[in-house]
Amino acid sequence: MPEPLFKALVDALSMGLVLAGALSVDSHPRLSRALRLAGFAVPLVSLVYAPYGLLWFQYFFLVLSFLVSIGVSLHNEDYYRIVYGSASYPQAVIDLSLVLLEVAFSSVNLIELFVAWFTLDLVLLLVILLERGMENYRVAVTYIVLSMLPCDLSLFTFWVLVSGRTGVYEAFTASFSELAATPASVGLLPALLLVVGFTAKLAQFPIHMWLPIVHPEAPSHGSAILSGLVVKLGAFMLLMTQTLFQYPAVVNAVLVAQGLVSSLYGFLAASAQDDLKRLLAYSTIGHTGVITVLLGLRGLLPVDTALLAVLYVFYHGLTKTLGFLNAGLLEQVAGSHNLYDLGYVDRVAPEATTPAVVAAMSLAGAPPTLGFTMKALTIYAVLTVALSRAASPEGPAWWALVVAAALVVSSVLSVIYSVKLVASYTSTPARAGLKKPEVGRLEVASERFLSGLIIASPALALLLPSAPAVFVLVSYAALAPFVIGLHLRRAALPEEKPWATGVEL
Amino acid sequence: MDALYAAAPALALSVLALALSAGRRGPAGLLPALSSACLFAFAALLLYSYSVVDWVSLVLSVTSFALVVVVTLYTTYYVEAERLPRSLPLLVSLFGFSISLTYLAVNLILFVIAWSFMEIIGFVLVRIGEEYSTEGSLRAARGYLLTSTTAFEITAFTLIVLSVPSIVSSYSPNVLYQPFAGATPVVEVSSPVLLALLLAGFVAKAALFPLHFWLPGAHSTAPSPASALLSGLTTPLGFYGLLRLTEIVDLTAWSQSLAYLLLAMGLSSIAYAGLEALGQRDGKLMLAYTTVLTNGFTALLFALYLTSPTSTLLLVAVVLVMLMQMGYKTVLFCGMGLIELAYGTRYIQGLAGVSQQLRTSSLGVLIAVYTLIGVPGTVGFLAKLLSMYLLLTGVVGGGGPPAVAALAGAVLYIALSAVVGVRVLSVYTASMRSRRPPLEFKQPNTPLEAAVLVMGLLSLAPSALLLQGLGGPGWLVALVVSTLPIPLLVSLLQTARVVTGVARAPV
């Protein structure tokens, strides 16, 4: 069977299964779950039989989107069932965007990428309009103008550049792996045109402002997808650009500069927010800044930064999805995501606390989470370069020192906002008379699933050949104190005793 | 020419059948309408197969006529509901026929006659809208007559007068009769004033920036089906006219400056009309400005086409944008007419969740909105894909400032059209958390809704036909056909019942 046809069948099958599952979520919940899981798994399973190969980073993106899809899809089901009583329409829209992302990440040629991408744009607009409809019109406009449009421009440039080698129509069907075999060199102007859109998707400095506007206003599950996966499309396309083309080195310097500014600014702004979702949004800008820096440093570090960037994408995708899902649960439980209104959530929904703590620790880069390993590796890699030439006559590599310093400052800032995040659960002392709200079984299961993944996956860092394994070891070693701490804390919680007028009842 | 004699009776029968169907309900209206469409398609195919007309005429005339037939049926029911004069369906059908005939016109004389006929009925339609509409402008008909109609007549007579030397020198009125297909440019233009006179009619019809002012008033005032035809089918006629002009008149000396002129007009139209469209609360006025917006984009592409007239891809891009405009604008205006009927207002400011009440027609309207936004599977997607490709090739290939300006204009157009699309989308999308009290709602006739749905489905068709006809690669046609379900499925999903409720109150 020819490759494109096989791939088209796989895509159609997975979309069909997921849509059928999503639409039957109210009538046959169990069947629906099975169908959706099967649908999400199809692109992965098909790789076993596929007559084609993907580019190396596509596998990571595909696995990430599969895992995130499971988490978001299950969480979404219970959320809408509890809050609105029916889930089929939101489920269909959310699941459709998830499966389209899988298609985009696993695309083998340009036409598949284009169709998946442009359809995804539409479905994301529906996601943004999902809960509030007309009221979110301005948010949708922001998304179109600042995120979709620059990206479209870059995608079309991508097509034009590929077609320069193959011909107008053939550019669509030429497979990426063939094109990657002989990277074409491109000039400065086309390279900048390419980079501007994809960094806008990654919410990098000059065009970053759409993200803090869109993420807080979109439904939480939509934000989880946007922040966990859609933003990563930018990184995906930057990697694709680096694989398929050779561009002037100055573009990489632009990437590093953009990344550093975004990362400092994002983390600083995140620690100043009082809205949980806005905080998470700014944190996304910060983390994608680090990804951009890593992509821009390609070839300059002893560690393979492209692989490191992909692992960082994996880490941030999982963590931020968990963060936004947890924010959705918080909204359901407490009806608010203003940090200073909260602080008591641990009392009413203790199930939600552990995932929130894991997400916060992972964002801050504390062991035993994947966040620690990634952050440590990133700083280690940059510092090695900075210090390697310290003794030599030309002195240390100043650019690397600057980058390392910026990364360290960002990482300190990220600790600040993570503490804020945890505080929304546990900062207020016991308050009497709180009703215990309904928390869905699936919601808890999905958040535990993602937290488990974050804790279990530091071993991924072993894929980097020249990186020290000590960071992985530390991460796993910290597991025991972490679990014991959680257990002790749970055991130490005093029983709530309602009291009135000073007399204990 | 023999083909012309065979096609003429078919066309005559076609207009007769269409006139018969106008104003009749049920099968009595449907059957003549269908036969009229078949006869017209037969005539067009006949002319095409004998190479009397080219593929541009074929595609545009057949697509426009299919839409005209459905709009005529729509008008029949619309008139009853809105208490408009009984003659309106007949007028609309004749108006539509003359538009399609202009697209199909084989030579200059037929072209001018069909166009003039169309202008007169167009004026009557706007006049009727002025009398019956409560919200429209009071000077719309005057503006239409003085700008669009007069400008065209000036252009037409200039063209005929200019061809006199050629007629005299060859002792035959051959210039006026020679078919467009394979025509040789015989008329020569010596002064910029004559050139301006030649352009005025077409530019005014396409409502490009300095000559745009008559359009928003006229198009928003006319009854909705007439607006649909005026906006969707007649404004691309301006570019069609320009295209024919380049075939009859020898413009090689002027093509560069003409391209710059069109580029400037296109850019200013896009910027001005896009911002105006976003500032409107009146849905029809917003759509009218969107027409100027889209025509600005067509002008950009046409400017490129003028500089390299041998490029088939550029011509295809121009035609695709024209087809896009035909499809989505007709549906959106008819959909806005339904909103006016159902809610008693066309101010879309307070409107939301229409897809939950006008479910059948919403399907069609949503397809049109996706065409405007450019979702895969629609003509809009292909149009934007191809034009962006051509524009970017210009920039990357070192086209200089004009290429960059054209690209910037196209990007601006894509942004503004997507924003207008989302504006309409947010009116139709249901919100799960509705806070506004519902407006008073009156269910319109089912055939009215069905007509809008059919128009929406029709607007999906031309891309596949066009590519098949042009002999693009087979897989491209397969792609177009296989992505067709995307807009359909998404709009079906949107019109499904959505449970609304208010989220749980804070603890």
Query: What's the CA gap between A201 and A238, in Å, rounded?
Result: 10
Token readout for A197 is 């859109």
Token readout for B346 is 């066309």
Contacts of A501 (CB under 8 A, 6+ apart): none
- Picking from B48, B41, B179, B183, the residue whose alpha carbon sits closest to that of residue B106 is B179
- Picking from B84, B69, B112, B98, the residue whose alpha carbon sits closest to that of residue B11 is B98
Query: What's the CA gap between A171 and B159, in Å, rounded?
Result: 44
Contact residues, chain B, for A126 at CB < 8 Å: 429, 490, 494
Q: Is residue A229, in this structure, part of any structural domain at all?
A: yes
Identify any residues that bridge with A499 across adjacent strands, giving them in sequence order.
A504
Domain coordinates in residue numbering, chain B: 310-497
Task: Please count the residues of chain A.
Answer: 505
Question: How many domains is chain A partitioned into structurally?
Answer: 1
pLDDT at B505: 40
DSSP A28: -
Q: Is residue A505, in this structure, part of any structural domain at all?
A: no
Contact residues, chain A, for B475 at CB < 8 Å: 4, 173
CB contact under 8 A, B493 and A153: no
Highest mean pLDDT among A371-380, B92-101, B121-130, B220-229: B92-101
Query: Do residues A75 and A49 lie in contact, with contact meaning Cβ atoms separated by under 8 Å?
Result: no
Query: What's the CA gap between B327 and B379, in Å, rounded?
Result: 8
Query: Do residues B11 and B39 lie in contact, with contact meaning Cβ atoms separated by under 8 Å?
Result: yes
CB contact under 8 A, A156 and B393: no
Query: Do residues A302 and A275 lie in contact, with contact meaning Cβ atoms separated by under 8 Å?
Result: no
CB contact under 8 A, A129 and B411: no
Q: Is residue A498, in this structure, part of any structural domain at all?
A: no
Q: How many CB atoms lie within 10 A of CB A435?
A: 7
Averaged pLDDT, B448-466: 83
Using the structure block, give the residue that is written with the tokens 């990654």.
A202
A293 burial type by CB count under 10 A (0-12 exposed, 13-18 middle, 19+ buried): buried
Query: Do residues A467 and A304 lie in contact, with contact meaning Cβ atoms separated by under 8 Å?
Result: no
CB contact under 8 A, B396 and A189: yes
Contact A146/B at CB under 8 A: no
- Picking from B408, B381, B382, the residue whose alpha carbon sits closest to that of residue B394 is B408
pLDDT at B212: 83
Task: Compute, in degrees rounded to 10, the torsion defined by CA atoms A394, A400, A405, A408.
Answer: -140
CB contact under 8 A, A168 and B313: yes
Contact residues, chain B, for A111 at CB < 8 Å: 479
Amino acid at A394: E
Q: Is residue A501, in this structure, part of any structural domain at all?
A: no
Contact A144/B at CB under 8 A: yes
Q: Given the DSSP bridges, would you call strands A499-500 and A245-246 parallel, antiparallel or unpaired?
A: unpaired
Query: What's the CA gap between A292 and A304, in Å, rounded?
Result: 14
CB contact under 8 A, B392 and A85: no
Query: What's the CA gap between A411 and B348, in Å, rounded?
Result: 48
Q: Considering just the CA atoms, what is the radius of gyration of chain A in Å?
A: 23
First to last CA, chain B: 82
Query: Do residues B74 and B30 lie in contact, with contact meaning Cβ atoms separated by under 8 Å?
Result: no
H/E element holding B249? strand B249-250
Amino acid at B434: S
pLDDT digits 0-9 by tens, B264-302: 999 999 999 999 998 888 889 999 999 999 999 999 999
Residue A500 φ/ψ, nearest 5 degrees: -140, 140
Nearest-neighbour CA in chain A from B448: distance (Å): 26
Q: Which among B352, B414, B507 is the nearest to A335, CB-wise?
A: B507
Token readout for B456 is 């929406």
Best probe of the A interface among B316, B391, B411, B422, by most A CBs < 10 A, is: B422
Token readout for B191 is 């002064």
Using the structure block, give the residue that is written with the tokens 């499966």.
A99
ipTM surpasses 0.95: no
Q: Is residue A209, in this structure, part of any structural domain at all?
A: yes
Name the 3-class secondary structure at A389: coil
Token readout for B49 is 């197969």
Tens place of pLDDT per residue across chain A (505 aa): 677 788 888 888 999 999 999 888 888 889 999 999 999 999 988 888 877 788 889 999 999 999 999 999 999 988 888 888 788 888 989 999 999 999 999 998 888 898 899 889 889 988 988 888 777 888 888 888 888 888 988 988 888 888 888 877 778 888 888 888 888 888 888 888 888 899 999 988 888 888 898 988 888 899 999 998 999 999 999 999 988 888 888 888 889 889 989 988 988 898 888 888 898 999 999 899 989 988 888 877 777 888 889 999 999 999 999 999 998 888 888 777 788 777 777 777 777 888 888 888 898 888 888 888 888 888 888 888 777 766 666 666 777 778 888 888 888 888 888 888 888 777 766 555 566 777 888 888 898 898 988 888 888 888 887 777 888 888 888 888 888 887 777 665 555 555 566 555 4
H/E element holding A499? strand A499-500
Average pLDDT of chain B is 84
Q: How many CB atoms lie within 10 A of CB A492?
A: 7
- Picking from A274, A460, A280, the residue whose alpha carbon sits closest to that of residue A359 is A280
pLDDT digits 0-9 by tens, B40-59: 999 999 988 888 888 888 88
Query: Do residues B333 and B284 lie in contact, with contact meaning Cβ atoms separated by under 8 Å?
Result: yes
Higher per-residue pLDDT: B173 or A472:
A472
Contact residues, chain B, for A168 at CB < 8 Å: 313, 389
Distances (CA, A) of A268 to A231, A412, A422, B10, B128: 20, 10, 18, 74, 62
pLDDT at B506: 41
Omega before A368 cis (within 30°)?
Answer: yes
Contact A218/B at CB under 8 A: no
pLDDT at B181: 65
Token readout for B400 is 């200089």
CB contact under 8 A, B426 and A129: yes
Nearest-neighbour CA in chain A from B399: distance (Å): 12
Highest mean pLDDT among A412-426, B160-174, B304-318, B412-426: B412-426
Contact residues, chain A, for B430 at CB < 8 Å: 133
Q: Which among B414, B432, B479 is the nearest to A152, CB-wise?
A: B414
Nearest-neighbour CA in chain A from B373: distance (Å): 8
Q: Which residue of A has its CA nearest to B413?
A: A149
Expressed as residue numbers, the domain containing A405 is 3-492
Nearest-neighbour CA in chain A from B248: distance (Å): 31
Which ranges of A389-462 does DSSP label H, i.e. alpha helix? 398-426, 441-456
Query: What's the CA gap between B298 and A356, in Å, rounded?
Result: 52
CB contact under 8 A, A149 and B483: no
Q: Given the DSSP bridges, would you call strands A503-504 and A245-246 parallel, antiparallel or unpaired?
A: unpaired
